[in-house]
Amino acid sequence: MSSVQKYLIQLVSSTIAFMVIWTVNAAPNSHNYSYYDSFRSGVDFYDSVENIQSSFFRVEVDSPDVDLIYPIEDPLDPSQNPNNIIDFEIPDNINNSIIYDPETGDYLFNSTVGEDFDYRNSSFMTQDEFFEYNLEKSLSDYWEDQVAGEDLDQSSLIPELNVGGKKFQDIFGSNKINIQPQGSAELRFGLNISKTDNPQLPERQRRITTFDFDEKIQLNVTGQIGEKLKLQTSYNTEATFDFENQMKLEYTGFEDEIIKKIEAGNVSLPLSGSLIQGGSSLFGIKT
């Protein structure tokens, strides 16, 4: 058998085998079933990969079934750090910076430890979002400064005041006024209704309604005007005697001034003699 005949026989055999295989695969049920199985296997493989990735990157929540009264959150956006009364503040070695990107018009928020090491992933805001964030932050900082009083003394109801003018300083020694009130006030309101069943009285006069008002005030005021004038006042509505309510003004001059001391209000007048005794709760002026 020549080589040409062998080649023709192989070609015919290959053609017949190809037609048989194509005919079998061309059956509708067989083709659809094979394609669906291959697609389904690909989907199952993708789902398995997704499950592996989600299990690998998922972070378990500590006590997920417990609702905390003050939950502690730690978002990646430094502009949205919540204020929590029991959470620690941001350490001093963490630097937060805002960088404007002129190409995109966005504002980038960066958090680094030192200057080079990134502490958080960077986040960004659009120009409108940044303006709104900056406005809210400015208002929040303003009201926090107002509540804190900055340099004002928070222990006093009335803060320390500064009065300008050289005349005021010459008279009282300085320009500061400090008044510290202490005490309590209680007000009571009520109605008193009295009814008298007297047939001799008109119907309108048998029933009388009066307004009842009662107050209970206990007040102590200590004031310092400059360095020379002092104010002391004590007032109690339930005091047994009137002299228990005291009010006193005391002006004390400097060593190089002519007027050394002036007292007004409830003053004491001790006397060294035995013929006339002095008083300790007199109302008047003493120099």
Decide which of 85 and 282 is more confident.
282
Decide which of 203 and 79 is more confident.
203
Q: How confident is the model at residue 48 (pLDDT cuts 50, 70, 90)?
A: very low
Structural tokens at position 137: 């932050």
| Portion of the chain with pLDDT greater than 90, in percent | 0
The pLDDT value recorded for residue 18 is 56
Nearest to 130 by CA among 189, 72, 80, 185: 80
Decide which of 273 and 75 is more confident.
273
Structural tokens at position 33: 């079933």
- Residue 81 pLDDT exceeds 60: no
Let me know if 173 is exposed, middle or buried by CB neighbors in 10 A (0-12, 13-18, 19+).
Answer: middle
pLDDT-wise least confident of 7-21, 156-170, 178-192, 248-262: 7-21
Q: Give the dihedral sign, CA 24/26/30/35.
A: positive
Structural tokens at position 195: 């009814």
Strand ranges (DSSP E) for the chain? 94-101, 106-113, 117-118, 123-125, 161-162, 176-195, 207-225, 229-236, 246-252, 261-269, 279-286
The pLDDT value recorded for residue 74 is 58
Instruction: Give the residue-averaged pLDDT of 121-133.
Output: 85
Contact 127, 107 (CB under 8 A): yes
Report the alpha-carbon distance of residue 41 to residue 35 in Å, rounded. 10
pTM for the whole structure:
0.38
- Residue 128 pLDDT exceeds 80: yes
Q: Which amino acid is at 25?
A: N
Decide which of 33 and 285 is more confident.
285
- Residue 27 pLDDT exceeds 50: no
The pLDDT value recorded for residue 273 is 66
Report the alpha-carbon distance of residue 20 to residue 90 in Å, rounded. 75
Report the alpha-carbon distance of residue 138 to residue 144 in Å, rounded. 10
- Residue 57 pLDDT exceeds 60: no
Ranges of each domain in the chain? 78-148, 161-183+218-286
Structural tokens at position 209: 């309604």
